[in-house]
Structures are given as structure tokens and as C-alpha cells.
Amino acid sequence: MDATLPILILAIPLGMFLVLGLAGCKMSHKLAGTLGCLGMGTTLVLAYYTAFTYFFSGSPEFVDAAGNRLQALIFNQTWLAFTDNLVIRLGFLLDPISAMMLVVITTISFMVHLYSMGYMRDHHGVYEHGFQRFYAFLSLFSFSMLGLVVATNIFQMYIFWELVGASSYLLIGFYYVKPSAVSASKKAFIVTRFADLGFLIGILILSYYTGTFNFTELTSAPVEGLAGVFQISESTAAGVKSVFESSATPVFMGASVLTWALVLIFMGGMGKSAMLPLHIWLPDAMEGPTPVSALIHAATMVVAGVYLVARLFPLYLMEVSALEFVTWVGALTALYAAIVACTQIDIKRVLAFSTISQIAFMMVSLGVARPEMHEGLGYMASMFHLFTHAMFKALLFLGAGALIHAIGSNDYTEMHGLRKYMPITHWTFLIGCLAIAGIIPFSGFFSKDEILSSCLGNSTVIYVWMSLVAGLTAFYMFRLYYLIFWWKEHKVHEGHHAPHDQPWTMSLPLIILAAISLVAGFIPFGKFVTWNGKSYDFMAHFDWSVAAVSLFVAVVAIAIATVMYRKENPLPEKMRAAMPGLWKWAHHRFYWDELYMFITHRIIFDGICRPIAWFDRHIIDGTMDAFATITNKASRAIKPLQSGQVQLYVWWYLLGALALGGITMLCLL
Amino acid sequence: MKQEIGLLVVFLLVFLYDTFMPQRAGKALPVVSTVLLLLATAAGFCSHCLGTATSTEAFAGMYATSPVVCAIKSILNIGAVIVLLQSISWSGSDHMAVRRGEFYELLLVTLFGMYLMISARHFLLFVIGLECASLPLAAMVAFDKRHYESHEAAVKYILTAVFSSAVFMMGISFVYGLAGSLYFGNIYAALSAGTHSLMLTLAVAFVIAGMGFKLSLVPFHLWTADVYQGAPTSVTSYLSVISKGAAAFSFLVILAQVFGSLYSDVWEWMLYALIILTITVGNLFAIRQTNMKRFLAFSSISQAGYIMLGIEAFNTMGLTAMMYYILVYIFSNLAAFGVIGAIERASGKVDMTDYRGLSKTNPRLAFSMMLAMFSLAGIPPFAGFFSKFFIFTGAINQGSVAIYVLVLIALINTIISLYYYLLVVKAMYISADEPVVGTFRSSISERLGLWITVGGVMLLGIASCVYTWIFDLGEISPLAAYFV
């Protein structure tokens, strides 16, 4: 495939960022928004074309004679060559998951670009302050995220990984005059940066022992027979494999080097994907504008951790203990987030915890995937769920944005009974809820069912656990749904006029995403995305009993939610009174934030930072001050040298020349 | 040889233009000279690209050239073109009408002299080049006839120059007495065969003193501040970069090709002491200056110390790092002088206190000045960081413990230099006082010069091809054979 289009996919958003960032203040709001949408639209078309070519062209570059999908390096440019081994490249990698991610990112990003045209202005049509900046940052984010998924090597991925972190920081703190937004952006940046420290150390360990950054070599070697898929020679794969085997020998604190590297790399993923205990930034990140939450904190950036594990999946297969770690982190997070989501009253926070829980589903799915079991179904299921979740969660967030836009508050106790006023939002939101709850035929049903099937194949405990979480998901989503759209409406809504549906720029993305959520489940994902490129029949691994059980659980959960929340009644209060401890802990998110506060303030600040600050202020600054004083004194002392008299200059000159010769002579004697 | 011929052609054309064109056309002379020199520079680069810049000899071996020599000449050419560009507005003023041509002719002659210094492989030709590069400069320093400081500077310059030439030639006569020849090659052979006499040590010291004058190494630097301050700004900038760059390279040629065998015994330690003195004393004086030109004079003294580190390293990396340093220094210093010249021409102010609040009245000039200061101080990602980095790396590669200490001292001095470079930035950006210099629009040539120099400051470091080009040339240079 020609490299022009792929380069354009990255270049257009970057160019848009530069244009809007540098010249945005010189152009009108409308022009800036339109430019942003046009740029993203073009990228969308190019990305679709690229993905289509990859999946359907059947070119020998992308698919081999046996029908296996191959990994193709569209280009791979050497950027910095430090030594023969330490070479950093920038390139464009096309394989099933990166092609799928291109579609996901550009779709959601385009929807959000379009949606923001309506969202980022008030009811009188006045654009928000910094509208151009908003579009510039959106373009920057899209560029970074696209660069992340097409990275050909782990170092390139790290660069773009940090870039998405930075653009997320900028967008969360978009309302920089609001102190809560500022602290939320800082929190998000610091927590993910802290996790990235682990990622970086993992990268360094891995590349130190294997001598390469490239995904192709890293991921093809561990498993027999993958070299063909990755289009490298068997001998190269064998060479890297032998390196791996030797690198498994050094043991540090009871685990092999490879395990350490993989767990540390996963730590980066835990930060970005908000896994326990690094999840604390995501709920606060909802301070950003809602379209941003939909794009970054629901659909794309937060799944980067899942993508990272999927990208290195063959490596994780080498160390099953690392995969088990992934599974359990995911399982704990899923349950935790689902419980907390049942007790929140801020609509965006509920969605945030639901996102955490759903990402944890994907993590679990990767963790339980084994090649010998259903041909690695978990891997496919995880990517499938990533795809469907991106669509329906973006839909839910954009719907929530429409509600917030109409009501002017995040608190859903102030909403109630909106279904009459905002029919489009109501119906699309309902589709999103049904999809996430896993009701047939909505997309979430299919992907979640695949995940549960692969869990069952691995361990019954995980299966039961995750089914329970799936039930909780259906419960809290419908609790949210009923509280917003049912109940009796408030007497007078905040504004002077009744809430109403939004302009077409906001409705259109909702409708498109709802349509996708409705049909995406029927995509035969197994034909496109599998861990080793072999496509398989979707129905072959479809387990009817699992499907029936999960459907039953979801329906029961929805029924409970209906009984409790369809109308105002004392049931919820009773239930709360029955479990006061659990409710209180869940409502306060199990006091994670307070725990972090205690650790940072009491232990780190008081115990470590203060002594260092003292050392800095007294010892280091003191040395520098002394240094400056000496310099100043010396400078004053030699001032007379520059007398302005040329005869003295010449004397000094001669003296210098003679001294130079004389002293050297003395030394040589 | 091609570059010398090219320069002579430029000189003759300028001379003919000045002599025979009517008075009215004289106004265009600065532009004509700039364009002509630019063409000659481009031709020099073309010969690099075409690969015709080869090693040749002439005048019975008194003159030799090689790709690396062509490269340093091209680098100096670039600097000279920028100096000419920046001088257009100044020499275009009315009081320059009758003397305009002389300035450009003198400048081209000095450049020719520097070419000879760089390419000379015989002391006779070298001295001709040296004088050719020194004496017309005195006339250029005195160019501002209306100002008494200009005369004073010229007198100081010529007296010191004559004295240093005398000392230098004294040194050469000692060498001649010992080796019986003035050819570099013959002297090298004679010196490496015989034992080191004390007279030879004195000879080396005198030669170093002579070159130390041109480079303003401490303690041969005392003329520098007075001359830089008194001379017209265009001349000062020419003195501070081109003259210094040429001297540095020819200094390395002499030390390698004549005294190469005495490196570890004799001149390594002389240079060692001079570098420490130069960097430190230059810095100590610079922190007290208030006149911008005087300030840059001391800054350039200390910069010369860093350039000397490349010679002290005495290896290929040192050679190429030095050339790269000269190139970057040309851009950074000329950016600073470009701003100074523009402000001086518009308002007559050259004091640092006059720069207060410049960022409010002339943000672009202030920004250019800030980048120039950052580059001179060696702050990444500007070019000056990379040039310092390479020159330190080259020195470290030499490997002795003494050199490590030297690099450490140089590093400490960069901290001191950071202080005074930032003083300028502070005056321009942070000082809350009322701006002294009002808003003005600088001329096209001044702006063009600043665009080029500031662009160079920003890009030369990041574009790794520049250093790679020089390094590849350095690897094949004839000098490499002399390094230890």
C-alpha cells in the first residue's frame, strides 16, 4: 500500500492543530469549527478507506494464501539512530487491531467534532470562550491517538502515549478558570504520568534484554508459527526467541525479568485505562467538556491500556502469571466500579464509573484469553467489546451532554421526567442503555457474551464474578435512565423555557451512534480481528447457554431497577437503610481519594519532601550563593586590569607571553 | 584556490563599481557587494556539492587546500555575507557617501587575508595573510570619523596589533633558527626529529601570544573591550566572529602542522592555562558591563576560550566541534549584534539599561535578542547548546584527567555566563520600568539579517545534517594525520 494516505491520516489532524492553534484567534468561531470538522471528516474518509483496503482488498501484502491476516509495515522511518541496536523509528503499522482502532477513533472523533459545534455554545447561540482552542486540542488529541495505535515500535507508542496524556490534560482543564477543572486536569496528568513511569521502566527492561523496540520482532517470536503473520523471516523470529529464553533466566525478587517488564508495562496501561488502584483520575476528569469525556474518557484514550496489552499479547502469553495479574486487576476493578456506580448522583460520574467497569471487562477478557481455548476467543471478544463499547458509551456521554446542555446541571436529581421534552435524546439514550446492559439484539449483548464465554472457558469463578458485574451494570444503567427520563418532572426547570431537543449538529451524532449500537453486534468480528490473524467463524464459539444466562441476569437486573426507580417510591431508601455501611462506602467511592490524600500529604510530603526542601534551600542554595559572592568579589578585584591605557595593555601582553614561555621552561627543566 | 579567485573577482567588481559608477549609483553599492559575496559563497557550496573541493597545492607548496579548509572558508563566507547584510542600512546613511566603497573593499581584503592564513603552509604566506587581515581592520575600526572613541579604538588596535606581530615574528625567527625552513612540513619534520630546546618553548609561547592577540585570549585580550566599544557596530560584529573564526582555525593548523609533535610536552599546558584564564576572566569582566558592545566583547573573549577547547582536545572530534562552534557562534553573535545595530541606528542607545522594557516596544527585536542570548549561553534546544555539547565531548574524548578538570571549569563558567546573558533578557522582559527605546521599524536588510540568524540559531542544532556534514569532512581532513 502506498504510504501517502496513511501519512495524511496523521498529517491532517496535526496540521489542523497547528492551523487552529496558531491562527485560531484570527478566525471566526464558525470557521474554526468548520475547519476542524472538515479536517476530521477527511481523516475519517482516509481511515475508512485504509481499513477497508486492509480488510477487503485481499492484497498479498495484507493476507496470505491461507487467508491469515498479516501485519504490514506501511512505512518505518529511522528517526534517531544512536547505536546499531538503539534505533528509534517512526512508522505506520497496519494489522487487524490498528485498522479497527483507526475506524473507532476517527468515527468517534468526527462525531464529537460535529457535536461540539452545537454543544460549545449557549442557548442564544453565543460560542464559548476558547472555542478555537477547543478544536485545536481536539485535533491534537486525534493526531496523538492515531499515532499511538499505528506505532510500529514500543518507543513510538510511548511518545504518542505521552502526547495523548498531554492533550487529555489540556482538554480536562479546558475551563481553566474553574479551580475544580484545574485540579482535575492536574490529577489526571500526575496519576497517569506516575503510571507511565512504570511503563517507561518496563520498556527499558524489555528493550535492554531483547535489543529491539519493534513490535514485529517482539511479538512474533514468542509463539511458534507467527513469523509468517508478522512478515519476518523464521530465522529472525528464532533469534529473538532465543533472546527471550535467555532473558527469562535473570530473576529479580522472585519473578523473571520478562514478567517484571510485562507487569510494569501493564502499569502504564492501568494508569491510562483507570484500573484499580490508579482509577482515581477518571471520575474527576469529567470536569472537562462533555464531548471530551465522550471522546477521550470513554471511547479512545482510556482503552489505550487494553490496546497496549492486546498489542503485546503474544508476549503476555509467554508469561501466564502476568496475564493472570491482568485478569485479577480487571475483575476487581469491574466489581468495584460497578458498585460505586450504583450510588453516584452525578450523571457523568455514573458514566465514568461504568466506563471503568467496562474497560475492566476488556482487560479480563484479554487476561483469560488462551490460544488453546476457543482459538483465543478472549482476545477477539476484548477487541469486539472495545469497538461496541466505544460506540454506545460515546452515545451515552453525548446524550448526557445534551441533557446537561438543556438543564445546566450534572445532577440528575434535578432532571426527572425529561422523556417528553427531549424525545431524540430519550430514545437514543435508551438504546445506549440497552446496549450496555446486554439485551439482544443490541451490540453490547454480543460482545459481552463473547467475553463471558471466554471467562467460562478459563475459570468458573471469573465467569460467575463477571456475570454478577454484568447484572450490576444493567441495574445502575437503568437506575440512571429512570431517574432522568421518568419520575415526575420538576415544577419549573432552571431556564425560562422548557428543556427541548438540541440542534441537528448534536442530534445527528446521537442518531448515527445509536444506529451503530443497534447493528454493530452483527459484525462477524472473528473474521477480522483475531490474535494470530486466522479468521474463524463467529458462531463456532457462540455459547447459547452463556447467552441465555447473561440475558436472564440482565433482564432480572433491569426488572429490579424498574421496580425501584420507575416511580418515586420508598424502596431505594429502605434498601439504603438496610445496608448503611456499604452504601456509605460506595457513595464515597471506598475512600480511595482520601487514602491517596493521606499518603501524599502525610507520608510523602511530610516525610520525604520537607527534608529535601530544607536541603535544597540551605545546602544547595547556600553553595550557589557562596559561588556568586566569590565571583562577584573576584570580578571587582581584577577590575583595574582594564585600565584603558594601551601601554599597560602591551606590558601585560609581553608579561603574559614571557610568563607562558618561562613557566613552561621551568616545568620542562 | 577557487574560493580565493572568487573572492578576488568580487573585490575587483566592487572596486570597479565604486570607482566608475556615478555618485548616484553608489547608494546601491552595499547591496551589490552583499549579493556578489553571496554568489561567491553559493559557488563555494556548489563546489562542495559537486565534489570539486579537493586537496590541491600551489606556490610551491606554500599554499594548500582541502575539503575541510574549503568548508571553514564557506562558513566564514556565510558570516561575512550576514555582516554585509546588516551593514547595508548603516553604510547607506548620507555621511558615509564618499567612503562607502572603501568599507566594502577593506572588508573583502581582510577576508582574503584570512583565507591566506587558513591555507598557508609556509610562514611567509601566513604573515602576509595575517597582516592583510589585521591592518585594514584598523582602518575599518576608525571608520566612524565623527566619533572620538572610534579613533581611540583604532589607535589601540593598531598599536597592539603591531606589537603582537612583532612578538609573533620573533617567535617565527626562533623557529627558523632551529629548523632552518619556513615550510610547515619541514619544520614539523625537524622538530619531531630533534630534542626540545628551551628556545623552542619560548618560540611556541611567542607564536601562541601572536595568535592569542587575534583571538583575544587572556592576557592578550586587553585591547578587545575598548576596540569593540569604539568601532562601528558592523566592524565590531565582523571582528568578533569572522576574524576570530579564521584565527581559531589557522591557529589549529599551525599548532598541528608545525608544533604537532610538541603537543603533550609544551603547548597543551600553555593552552590549558590560557583557556582557564580566558573563560574565567572574560566572564568576570562580562558580569560588570553595562555597555552592550563592551559586554559582548567580554562575552566573545570567554567564547573564544570555549573555541580553544576544540584545539586543546587535539582530535578529529575537537576539530569538527570547533568548526561547528564557529558556525553557531557566527549565527548567535550576529543575531545579538543585529539587534544592537538596529537599536543603535534607530535611537543611538547602546546601554543595557536602555534595553529595559524592550519586549513591550519592540517585541520581535527583544525575542531575537533573547534567542541569541539563550544560544550564547548554551540553553537547549538552541544551536549554542549543541555546539557546547560537541566541544565538551571532543575535549572529553581526549581522555586525560586534566582535561576532565578543564571541562568541569568550563562548565562552571557556563553557569556564570548564564547569569550575565540572562541580565539582558531580564532587562528586556522582566524590568518593570518605563521602556527607554520607543517602537520603531527596522529596515528590510536588518530584518532579513535577523530572520537568517535567528533561524540559524533555532535550526542549526536540530538539523543534525549540518554537524554530520562537518564531521564527515573532518574525518578525511589532512589535519587528522597530526592528531595524537
- DSSP assignment of A418-439, as one string? TTTT-HHHHHHHHHHHHHHHT-
φ and ψ of A279, to 5 deg:
-85, -10
pLDDT reported for residue A580: 81
Query: Judged by CB atoms within 8 Å, which residues 382-411 of B form the interface with A?
Result: none
Q: What is the mean pLDDT of residues B70-74?
A: 93
Candidate from A497-506, B22-31, B434-443 with smallest mean pLDDT: A497-506
Using CB atoms, pick whichever of A627, A631, A664 lies closest to residue B284. A631
Mean per-residue pLDDT for A545-557? 89
Q: Is B465 on the interface with A (CB under 8 A)?
A: no
With a CB cutoff of 8 Å and minimum separation 6, the contacts of A608 are none
List the single residue in A with minimal CA-CA distance to B419: A628
Mean pLDDT (chain B) is: 91
Q: B97: distance to nearest CA of chain A, Å? A: 32
Q: Using CB atoms, which residue from B201, B218, B226 is nearest to A668?
A: B201
Q: Nine-digit cell at A7?
A: 501519512
Q: Is the peptide bond before B219 cis (omega within 30 degrees of 0)?
A: yes
Query: What grid cell was written down for A623?
Result: 553553595
User: Do the chains contact at B220 and A641, CB–CB below 8 Å?
Assistant: no
Look at residue B85 in the predicted model and tell me its pLDDT.
94
- pLDDT for position B224: 94
* Cell numbers given for B232: 562601528
Lowest mean pLDDT among A528-542, B102-116, B425-439, B469-483: A528-542
Work out the percent of chain A whose per-residue pLDDT is above 90.
Answer: 35
Of A462, A443, A442, nearest in space to A452 by CA: A462
Question: CB B19: neighbour CB atoms within 10 A?
Answer: 9
Tell me the pLDDT of chain A averaged across its residues. Answer: 86
The answer on pLDDT for A90 being more than 90 is: no
Query: B84 touching A, CB under 8 A?
Result: no
The pLDDT of residue A490: 64
The three grid cell numbers given for residue B432, joined into one nine-digit string: 518593570
Nearest-CA distance B61 → chain A (Å): 30
List of residues 6+ apart from A460 with CB closer than 8 A: none
Query: Three-class SS of residue A372?
Result: coil
Whether residues B416 and A631 touch (CB distance < 8 A) is answered with yes
Confidence band, pLDDT 50/70/90 cuts, at residue A493: low
**Separation in Å, CA A324 to CA A308, A318, A327, B398:** 16, 12, 5, 53
Mean pLDDT of A506-511: 88
> Any chain A CB within 8 A of the CB of B164?
yes
Q: For residue range A136-153, list pLDDT tens digits in order.
A: 999 999 999 999 999 999
Give dist(CA A601, CA A609) in Å, integer.
10
Backbone angles phi, psi at A75, to 5 degrees: -155, 160
With a CB cutoff of 8 Å and minimum separation 6, the contacts of A12 are A39, A42, A43, A46
Name the band, by pLDDT with cuts 50, 70 and 90, for residue A362: very high
Nine cell digits for residue A33:
469549527
Interface touch B219/A655, C-beta < 8 Å: yes
* Distance between B482 CA and the closest CA of chain A, angstroms: 22
CB proximity B274 to A under 8 Å:
yes
| B156 within 8 A of A647, measured Cβ to Cβ | no
What are the helix and strand counts (H, E) for chain A? 27, 4
pLDDT over 80 (residue A235): no
Cis peptide bond upstream of A580, omega within 30: no
Is residue B157 within 8 angstroms of chain A, CB to CB? no
Q: CA-to-CA distance for A54 and B382, rounded, in angstroms?
A: 43
To the nearest whole percent, how much of chain B has pLDDT over 90? Answer: 69
**What is d(CA A164, CA A195) in angstroms, rounded to the nearest whole number?**
14
> Does residue B439 register a pLDDT over 60?
yes
Mean pLDDT, to the nearest integer, of A268-276? Answer: 90
For B320-347, the pLDDT digits (tens) are 999 999 999 999 999 999 999 999 988 8
Q: How far apart are CA A601 and CA A598, in angstroms?
A: 5
- The verdict on whether omega for the bond into residue B381 sits within 30 degrees of 0, i.e. cis, is yes
Phi and psi at residue B224, to the nearest 5°: -55, -55
Task: Say yes or no for a CB contact (<8 Å) between B220 and A653.
Answer: yes
Residues A561 and A478 sit within 8 Å (Cβ to Cβ): yes
Question: Which residues 6+ apart lie within 8 Å of B40 measured at CB?
Answer: B3, B6, B7, B9, B10, B77
Residue B357, min C-alpha distance to chain A (Å): 25
d(CA A475, CA A471): 6
Looking at the partner chain, which of A635, A641, A657 has a beta carbon nearest the beta carbon of B167? A657
Choose among B213, B219, B288: nearest Cβ to A635: B288
For the residues A159-182, what does the mean pLDDT come to?
91
How many angstroms away from the CA of B274 is the closest CA of chain A? Answer: 9
Report the residue from B196, B209, B265 with minimal CB separation from A656.
Answer: B209
What are the pLDDT digits (tens) for A166-176? 999 999 989 88
Substitution target from B141, B201, B277 for chain A, most A beta carbons within 10 A? B201
Helix (H) or strand (E) segment spanning residue A76: strand A72-81
Largest CA distance in chain A: 107
Cβ of A657 and B156 within 8 Å?
no
**Other CB atoms closer than 10 Å to residue B9's CB: what's the count?**
14
Tell whether B90 is within 8 A of chain A (Cβ): no
Name which residue leads in pLDDT, B254 or A403.
B254
What's the pLDDT at A233? 65
Query: Residue B46: is its pLDDT beyond 90?
Result: no
- Mean pLDDT of the A458-481 span: 90
Kindly state whether B266 is in contact with chain A, defined as any CB-CB distance less than 8 angstroms.
yes
Minimal CA separation from A629 to chain B, in Å: 11
Question: A91-100, A249-258, A303-312, B111-120: which range is least confident on average?
Answer: A249-258
DSSP tag of A27: S
The total of other beta-carbon atoms located within 10 Å of residue B56's CB is: 12
ipTM for this prediction: 0.91
Pairing mode, strands B56-58 and B63-65? antiparallel
Alpha-carbon span B274 to A590, nearest angstrom? 68
Highest average pLDDT, of A451-460, A517-526, B419-428, comes from B419-428
B177-200 residues labelled b (16+ CB within 10 A) or e (exposed): ebbebbbbeebbebbeeeeeeeeb
Higher-confidence residue of B196 and B223: namely: B223
Distance to chain B for A75, nearest Cα, Å: 22
Say what angle helices B148-179 and B198-215 make with each other, to 10 degrees: 150
Confidence of residue A232 (pLDDT cuts 50, 70, 90): low
Q: Do the Cβ atoms of A649 and B156 come within 8 Å?
A: yes
Mean pLDDT, residues A383-405 taken together: 90
* Cis peptide bond N-terminal to A250, omega within 30: no
As to burial, measured by CB atoms within 10 angstroms (0-12 exposed, 13-18 middle, 19+ buried), residue A420 is exposed
Non-local (6+) Cβ contacts of B323 within 8 A are: B68, B71, B72, B75, B249, B310, B470, B474
pLDDT digits (tens, 9 = 90+) for A585-642: 888 888 888 888 888 888 888 888 999 999 999 999 999 899 889 989 999 998 888 8
Query: Would you call B223 and A646 a contact, using CB atoms and an 8 Å cutoff?
Result: yes
* Residues of chain B contacting A663 with CB distance shorter than 8 Å: 273
A400, three cell numbers: 448526557
The pTM for the full model equals: 0.71
The model's confidence at residue B47, banded by pLDDT at 50, 70 and 90, is confident
C-beta of residue A148 within 8 angstroms of C-beta of residue A164: yes
Cell of A212: 529491539
Interface contacts A/B by beta carbons within 8 Å: 91
Closest Cα in chain B, distance from residue A82 (Å): 12
Hey, is the C-beta of B167 within 8 angstroms of any chain A C-beta?
Answer: yes
Whether the predicted pLDDT of A495 surpasses 60: no
**Which pLDDT score is estimated for B124?**
95
Nearest in space to B114 (alpha carbons), one of B302, B248, B310:
B248
Q: How many domains does chain B have?
A: 1
Best interface-test mutation with A: which of B155, B202, B208, B222 has the largest number of A CBs within 10 A? B222
Chain B positions in Cβ-Cβ contact with residue A646 (cut-off 8 Å):
155-156, 159-160, 223
Cα–Cα distance between B343 and A410 in angstroms, integer?
A: 57
Mean pLDDT, to the nearest integer, of A456-470? 89
Q: Give me Rg for the CA atoms of chain B.
A: 21
A89 φ, ψ to 5°?
Answer: -115, 155
Q: Give the pLDDT of residue B325.
A: 96
Instruction: Please give the span between the terminal C-alpha atoms of chain B, in angstroms, as a whole number.
Output: 29
Q: Are B27 and B98 in contact (CB under 8 A)?
A: no
Please answer yes or no on whether A664 and B206 come within 8 Å at the CB atom. no
What's the confidence (pLDDT) of residue A164?
Answer: 93
Q: What is the pLDDT of residue A51?
A: 92
B377 touches chain A (CB under 8 A): no
Residue-number span of the structural domain to which B47 is assigned: 2-482
- Is residue B224 within 8 Å of A644, Cβ to Cβ? no
CB atoms closer than 10 angstroms to residue B419:
16
Backbone angle region of A464, left / alpha / beta, with phi > 0 → left and psi within -120 to 50 → alpha: alpha
For Cα atoms A236, A268, A249, give the angle at the middle one, nearest 5 degrees. Answer: 45
Q: How far is A633 from chain B (nearest CA, A)?
A: 9
Cα-based angle B253, B256, B260 (whole degrees, multiple of 5): 160
The pLDDT of residue A411 is above 90: no
Does residue A63 have a pLDDT over 90? no
Contacts of A665 in chain B (CB under 8 A): 198, 201-202
Q: Where are the alpha helices (DSSP H) in A413-503?
A: 423-437, 443-458, 460-485
Q: Three-state SS string across B271-338, please?
A: HHHHHHHHHHHHHHHHCCCCEHHHHHHHHHHHHHHHHHHHHHHCCHHHHHHHHHHHHHHHHHHHHHHH
Place of cell 487494553: A306
